Amino acid sequence: PSSPKKTKNRRDSMFDYKSDAARKVELIAKSRDERRLKQAEEKTMREQMMQAMEHATPYWEFAHMISEFKQGVEFKPLRDTDPVVENQITVCVRKRPLNDRESRRKEVDVVSVPTKNQLIVHEPKHKVDLTKYLENQHFRFDYVFDDSCTNDIVYKFTAKPLVKTIFDGGMATCFAYGQTGSGKTHTMGGEFKGKIQNFKNGIYGLVAVDVFKQIANPKYAKMNYIVSASFFEIYGKLVFDLLSKKQRLRVLEDGKQQVQVVGLTEKIVSKVEDVLDIIQKGSLERTSGQTSKNSNSSRSHAVFQIILRKAGSRVVEGKFSLIDLAGNERGADTSKSNRQTRIEGADINKSLLALKECIRALGRKGAHLPFRGSKLTQVLRDSFIGEKSRTCMIALISPGNTSVDHSLNTLRYADRVKELVANDSLDD
Ligand code: ADP
Ligand code: MG
């Protein structure tokens, strides 16, 4: 029984023998532990401060109210397999995701998309006593695309159904409308990876693919169609050819109200790649020499057209016009800024109002077409005529709380282009 003690004593003596070195090790370990503890404390302090700062941003209460609202909603968004409805006028809305800059600024996503055709804007408001509350505004459109939708899905429900129109003796138009930065060029031209744009997955390129598919269809093969494309820009009252170094073009109207853009480049195309080359060339021309967000492209309308003729004839059998409109905030902002900017804003405003009236006239047979209201509606005149003509408007919105006024303006405009019955209930 005494042996364990003996062992212990021996160990103790060994310890004593090494005590100096061991004590040093112990000291180092202790200070290391203390350092770690201090670091951990600092970290939690930092985290608590971050949290406090987060709550210090003015929007966390709204964020909380919106997330509570969303918890009470059963989301049934658009699915790829949903039926595509054939309309003469289609009006839809696409909401993009919050971008990095908005996320960094802790912006709140104030837009909910509960179903395939409904949208709610949660507008942050203050009562007189400064209590915060949400004004939830409901909208209904033909389709609403939430931030998970790709260009392919948007295309399927918007421009794709209009491709057959131009093979059927009709005119087709598709407009991208919205505030600068809301996703018009992303939707029409193709997704951006940094500054590089993938022209294959924009609506321009996707239309081209389907046009050539139709051409190859035995039903149309014997028609000997010649396909051509043009790309131009409308800047106030001026028109510039994007396929000819921005050469300035004149718009003429003859005695029969036929409108012509004189000297516009029209390139004959025989395959999708030819069209993609044109889209790339025109898009680069459009943005060349631009520096900031206050770029020219946000102040001009870009018009890309695919034209169908029979071999040996000048007669236009069908035409698809795809338009990346000027930023609509330009029209709204008339108070500040200099004279030039104000004039530009007024021009843009006028053209967007004329556009709305022309689309509405298309939907009402025999209605007066106020196409002379702007250069844009003048050059698109023939597209607003005829029972076979069809149009689609894609309204783009930014989801962040700082964009809420612009988003509401965009939604109200789109709403008036085609007045669908508003429906406040969420069960479709
Ligand atoms: P606009 O032409 O309306 O001024 P852009 O198309 O240039 O706006 O879009 C602004 C930025 O937002 C671009 O960097 C674009 O890639 C990005 N963006 C727009 N829509 C989407 C989307 N649906 N998903 C992801 N990013 C988007
Ligand atoms: Mg753009």
| CB of residue 186 inside a 6 A radius of ligand 1 | yes
Cα 180 to averaged position of ligand 2 atoms, centre (Å): 6
Strand ranges (E), 181-286: 192-193, 196-197, 225-235, 238-241, 247-253, 259-262, 267-269
Cα 300 to averaged position of ligand 2 atoms, centre (Å): 9
> Which atom of ligand 1 is closest in space to residue 96's alpha carbon?
23
CA dist 350 and 331 (Å) reads 8
Cα 172 to averaged position of ligand 2 atoms, centre (Å): 21
3-state secondary structure of 244: coil
Q: Ligand 1 pocket check: which of 186, 299, 304, 410 to mutate, most ligand atoms within 8 Å of Cβ?
A: 186
| CB of residue 96 inside a 6 A radius of ligand 1 | yes
pLDDT in tens, the chain (428 residues): 444 444 444 555 455 556 788 888 888 899 999 999 998 888 888 887 777 666 556 688 999 999 999 999 999 999 999 999 999 999 999 999 999 999 988 899 999 999 999 999 999 999 999 899 999 999 999 999 999 999 999 999 999 999 999 999 999 999 999 999 999 999 999 999 988 999 999 999 999 999 999 999 999 988 899 999 999 999 999 999 999 999 999 999 988 888 999 999 999 999 999 999 999 999 999 987 665 555 677 899 999 999 999 999 999 999 999 999 999 997 655 565 678 888 888 889 999 999 999 999 998 887 889 999 899 999 999 999 988 999 999 999 999 999 999 999 999 999 999 876 544 444 43
User: Any binding-site annotation on 178?
Assistant: yes
CA dist 219 and 91 (Å) reads 30
Helix%, strand%, coil% for the chain, nearest 5: 45, 25, 30
Tell me the HSE value of 98 on the side-chain side, using a 13 A CA sphere. Answer: 17
Q: What is the DSSP letter of 300?
A: S
Residues across the chain:
428
Q: Which residue puts its alpha carbon closest to atom 24 of ligand 1?
A: 96
Cα 189 to averaged position of ligand 2 atoms, centre (Å): 9
- pTM across the whole model: 0.85
Task: Please give the biggest Cα pair distance in the chain.
Answer: 125
| CB of residue 151 inside a 6 A radius of ligand 1 | no
| CB of residue 318 inside a 6 A radius of ligand 1 | no
